[in-house]
Amino acid sequence: MGYKRQRRIIHLQFDQDHELAGLEVRLRSLSLRNYKELLGIGEVDRSDVGSQLEEFARSLISWNLEDEETGEPIPATPEAVDAEDADLMQKIAGFWFDALTGVIQGDPLPDSSPGGGQSPEATIPMEPLSESRAS
């Protein structure tokens, strides 16, 4: 019996203090070929924004995006993506692409995060090297 892979589903959710709070988007991952092409290292270079947005639209499974005037759900189709606000689609596609590449985007570090100050370890004293002696 062989291993049955399950294609990865990327689920984007945004915290309450994020500008996209409440938005949930589910997208398919990419084949290695498509992934490399979007990075510009495949047989075909599709690393331009237009190609990335087209692949984003094809990878879209579902979202909870609603029409701002009617409150009706907007279908998760390439045609609906094309009809939406360019800035919003680029933001969402950027988060999807970052998830594909393993980049973690999120809120800034909490206030309790250390500021990168002095390491608690003792520092190693640095002294000039002594002149070497000829053997």
d(CA 52, CA 46): 7
CB atoms within 10 A of CB 48: 11
Residue 37 near residue 45, CB atoms below 8 Å: yes
Tens digit of pLDDT at every position of the chain (135 positions) = 899 988 889 999 988 999 999 999 999 999 999 999 988 998 899 988 999 999 999 999 999 999 999 999 999 999 999 999 999 999 999 999 999 888 655 543 444 444 445 444 444 555 555 565 655
β-strands 9-13, 60-63: how paired?
Answer: unpaired
Query: What does the pLDDT read at residue 105?
Result: 53
Domain ranges for the chain:
9-101
CB atoms within 10 A of CB 19: 8
Query: What does the pLDDT read at residue 1?
Result: 86
E-state strands within the chain: 9-13, 24-28, 60-63
pTM: 0.70
Query: What does the pLDDT read at residue 130?
Result: 59
